[in-house]
Structure 1
Amino acid sequence: MLLKDFDYELPEELIAQTPIEPRNASRLMVLDPALESIEHRQFYDLSTFLAPGDALILNDTRVLPARLHGRREPTGAHIEVFLLRRIDKDSWETLVRPGKKAQIGQTIRFSEELSAEVTAHTDFGGRIVKFHYEGIFEEILDRLGETPLPPYIHERLEDRERYQTVYSREEGSAAAPTAGLHFTKEQLAELKAKGINIGFVTLHVGLGTFRPVNVEKIEDHKMHSEYYRIPEETADLIRRTKEAGCRVVAVGTTSIRTLEAAAEPQGVLAPKSGWTDIFIYPGYRFKLVDALVTNFHLPKSTLLMLISAFAGREFMLRAYEEAVRERYRFFSFGDAMFLTCRAERGAKEEGAL
């Protein structure tokens, strides 16, 4: 399939710059691919579309204060280091700006207590750095680091917890699993009271998920690997849900990628951890997930390709056109959609994983 098949027109003013309050006051577009129906609701109405026994699967990753500002030694020139993933206790894969100035052996100083040495280049143009510090690294990072926001958000975020889900706990992401930003603790409690089961997976979101697709044929795109973990209690919950004939509902593309990466072809899921570079686009046959809560995604993005595989490309593009007409808010701080997996799972549109 071609990259141009996943393009759409989006007025810049529809890109949400600030989060809405309360979290679940955002709008919710409800899509049924089988009926090709579109309904406009609010996120606090989500329970209307879930049934007792359904399992809601959330990604409990937490965003790192991953952006550090430092000075190159001995020149004192400003340099920015963005943490992507931890390799070992003190070494990290990073993005460095300006990258040309960060060569192997270069020392970067962030404060009296923290510095880093560039030790290697990466395949994606980044750098491996080794940190040197006095004290506890996580505490220093929390003081010096900034919570990163996507480049299309230009407004300052006053409360950095607003770019975390209310259930975040496993620190390690470079970006938030934004579909989960809509939930309040009260809404989660209401869902549990209705009989909706809630389980957690962890996928530490890397910038590779949002890396632009720069190839004409999408099959040629290569995803960056991300770490995931599925605990035993979540695997057991999903097994019981399927045996009861209820639905597995993934919250966000990170949750659906985690579940689909770990599941066996026959839909069996075991507790597991590891690295995944799964790329889901039309033609993929979903093994586990029956419904999805997600935000509106960038044109030509791998995330738009994923939901096109889930609900059909033409239907999703029509839904996006309606979202533009109805003035929905787009991307990380924008509105949400709830969609079910179409009955013919990837059978009509060509493509392969």
Structure 2
Amino acid sequence: MIPTPAPTELPPGPADRYLSGLRVGVTAVAGTLLLTMSMLRNVRSYHPVWFQAVAWATFAVIVLIGVVRVARHRPWGATWPLAVAAVLAASVLSMAGLPAGSATTAADWSTGVVGWVGLVVLFDRPLVVFVAFLIVHEAMVVSDVLITRPGDADALLNALSGAIGTLGYPLAAAIAATALAGAARTVERSWRESELLRTREAIASGLHSGRRRRFAALDQGVLPQLRALRDGSADPTDPRVRRACSIEAARLRRLFAESEDAPDPLLHVVRHCVDVAERRNVVVELQVSGTWPDPPEEIRRALTDGLLLVVSTAASRVRVTLVGTDGCVTLGAVGDDVELPADGWTPTEDVAMDTIREGNVTWIQARWSMS
């Protein structure tokens, strides 16, 4: 039977590819802002300078980790709280090294970077988490202004108005990404549903074709034999009729085995064929060795045609060997008093058939190679 694939077996959808592109864009913006190195223009005013160097290095490490995760298509996972804490700590360190009253001025280079670096970390988190991050950071900036320049209303208004650019742009990007990601996921759901529908239709078509082939096999062998028995044109006491019925019964069992799901379809069919002889109280010896590829259904039938003849007509003993080597499988059967078909074997291009008879012992071998 053909298994129905689970939804997880489908390839990555458009939402995954689209969100990957957005992550690349956000990470590129954050990296570009860091590379501008705007703090170098005011390096002489920082006390101490290493506060700014450590803050910049922290941001750079976060962005580099983001680049690696984007390249490997891996989200931050459970490490995102630590990364957010590192970003906020670096921001505090940078503000601590600013000259008095320099918050939100040109010397405060980190305020314009924090939002984008935070978005690199929180891209896969809900929008409310990123908004909370921006609120916390803005509260830190306002607190710094109130502490370093108490009573300066102009400085406070400047800090609030500056937040429109420093925090508003990454927030707008996050809102747009959330909205567009929702639309992409809707498209992806429709795409996956259509893919599953097409897969199910293909499976149903394959199952229907398989049933038609099996019914055609019944119409060629079993049904004519049953009609002959029903209308009396075949005598059940005739040894030739009994032999033909035994062969068709074996083919019917093979047909049932072909419709079952098994890890090794060829070995599964062979075991069902061997069971035919055992039900006739014939001593059967089955030897299996090696490995082999899974042959198509038509090849399996051609390989087991000779085996069916042996197990259904042998008088007392049957020996079956199934050997696989280097992309080739050989199936042999030896039995006593086996009656060979009068018209020989139906020629098969891909399966070679050999028959040897010595006295009352008949040996039939079928061989198939992938090449």
Q: Which has the higher helix share?
A: 2
| Greater relative contact order, per chain length (Cα 8 Å cut-off, separation 6+) | 1
Calculate the TM-score normalised by the size of structure 2.
Answer: 0.20
